[in-house]
Amino acid sequence: MKNLIIAIALIASNIVITPSIFAQDKKDITTTTIHVDGVCGACKKRIENAAYINGVKSAEWNKTTNELTITFKPSKTTIEAISENIAKHGHDAGEAKATEKAYNSLPACCSYKNDNATKH
């Protein structure tokens, strides 16, 4: 009987501990937006893929507003690291600017610095 009580107490204590672990995890998630230059659907795919570094939970770029909404864990990454990775793929993101080489590697339809670029 004593062993049964101990077993029940251990099981009950695990049930109490588990929700507190999940609650702490949810507190470590942040959602923010940054401006990312781009013009088309190909840009959208490239920007969102580049945003998915370790710690990023979701990334959604709006080509009408040029705003990227990112949900991430600040304990695993920073907005600066995300922006830098996007810039490496040719798109100015927040304070991070794409190098000329990275920008020039974009397809012609993604030339957001070109006034004649069409949004499609």
DSSP string, 52-97: --TTEEEEEEETTTTEEEEEE-TTT--HHHHHHHHHHTT--BTTB-
**What is the reported pTM?**
0.75
Residue type present at position 68: L
Helix 79-88 vs helix 41-51: angle between axes, to the nearest 10 degrees?
A: 130
**Residue 108: exposed, middle, or buried by beta-carbon count in 10 A (0-12, 13-18, 19+)?**
exposed
| pLDDT attached to residue 5 | 62
How is residue 46 written in tokens? 């490239």
The single-letter code of the amino acid at 30 is T
Note the pLDDT of residue 9.
Answer: 55
What pLDDT sits at residue 15?
46
User: What is residue 6's predicted lDDT score, i.e. its pLDDT?
Assistant: 58
CA distances from 59 to 10, 75, 86 (A): 40, 17, 12
* Tokens (6 digits) for 95: 């304070």
Going residue by residue through the chain, which has 120 residues, state the pLDDT in tens, using 9 for 90 and above.
666 565 555 555 554 444 444 444 567 899 999 999 999 999 999 999 999 999 999 999 999 999 999 999 999 999 999 999 999 999 999 999 999 999 999 999 999 988 655 554
pLDDT at residue 44, rounded to an integer: 97
